[in-house]
Amino acid sequence: MKSELKKRTLQDLANLYLERKLPVSPEYQRGTKWGRPQKQALVDSLLRGYQIPLFYVHIQKTPSYTGGVNETAWLVDGQQRLISITDYLKNRFPLPDAENGAPTTVTPALIAAGSAWAGKTFDELAVEDRDRLLGIELQVVEMHTQDEDEVRFLFVRLQAGTPLTAQEKRDAWPGDFTTFVIRHAGKPKHEDNNPKPFFEILPHGRTLNIDDGDHYVDGLAERRKFFAGLAMTIMVRERSESATGFVDLKGKKINDFYMGNFKLKTDDPAVLRVVKMLDAIPKLPGFEMLLAGAPVRACPKIGECIIS
């Protein structure tokens, strides 16, 4: 198979798709799967100048009736991105605007709030932003082969990656609470990595099967997820009148908490309470035995007992 990396403007690709000159092969057709937040995030990323993944196109040659050769360009990978782009060009959704209550996005809302295009449809963009968006050069891999099995194998490989978990996505967000979670729960090789001894009693989570020095290995995502929920619970209760009220730890609530605590003061009583708890538990009787694997049993009051 011969592959060539080409560049196409966003407007060219969108027009080809809308004019059915870049159809999706029925074999790879899966319809619209992305929701509005994902579509908003893609367009917002493009306007910010972020690189997005490659598009893959299969150039297939077939004999024509007159004895010549017809060429058909099939879209193999990138359908959801092109649907999102063309939907935005048709003004089917606005971009997120956290300040004015427009729909939020899977990217941190506070970033979107600071943009000149927040809350705007395509037609509402400033002329320079519209022109810039349409002129963005997207990278396309054109595959020339008559062996359709090769294309199938490539498609399977492109879809075989391990997706990021919700917590791994949060770890990439900016903000003080992100740093707070990473610092205290740990993230290998991160500049803020300084995990508390408390977390040594928790098992490591998902890891790669190899650790040869060339690959980044992070088995602490589940630990950070646990700590994010724990810290959120303590901080919400510290800031409320009730010390025992229910704290909703569903994914969206945790996301909102991250964004609501984009800036944290070092003397915030809620923050200090979390750190105090992390520092106090390793000093409790029996903590060393927990590190050695001793089973935990329930206690009426923390501190009265910690192991069985």
pLDDT at 203: 56
**pLDDT tens, residue by residue, 23-61:** 987 766 666 678 898 999 999 999 999 999 999 999 988
Going from N- to C-terminal start, the domains of the chain cover: 2-161, 167-291
CA separation for the pair 230, 202 (Å, rounded): 13
Q: What is the pLDDT of residues 75-84, one digit of tens each?
A: 988 999 999 9
pLDDT digit string (tens) for 222-253?
889 999 999 999 999 999 876 667 889 998 89
Rounded Cα–Cα distance for residues 228 and 186 (Å): 12
pLDDT digits (tens, 9 = 90+) for 172-196: 888 899 999 999 999 888 889 999 9
Between 21 and 213, name the one with better pLDDT.
21
pLDDT interval class at 104 (50, 70, 90): low
Q: For the chain, how big is the Rg over CA atoms in Å?
A: 25
Predicted confidence at residue 68, as pLDDT, reads 85
Task: Report d(CA 167, CA 225) in Å as an integer.
Answer: 6
Assigned token pair, 102: 């427009």
Strands (E), the chain: 2-9, 55-63, 69-77, 137-144
| Rounded Cα distance, 139 and 10, in Å | 10
| Mean pLDDT, residues 154-158 | 76
The alpha carbon of residue 269 and the mean position of all alpha carbons in its chain are separated, in whole angstroms, by 30
pTM of the model: 0.67
CA nearest to 263, candidates 172, 175, 158: 175
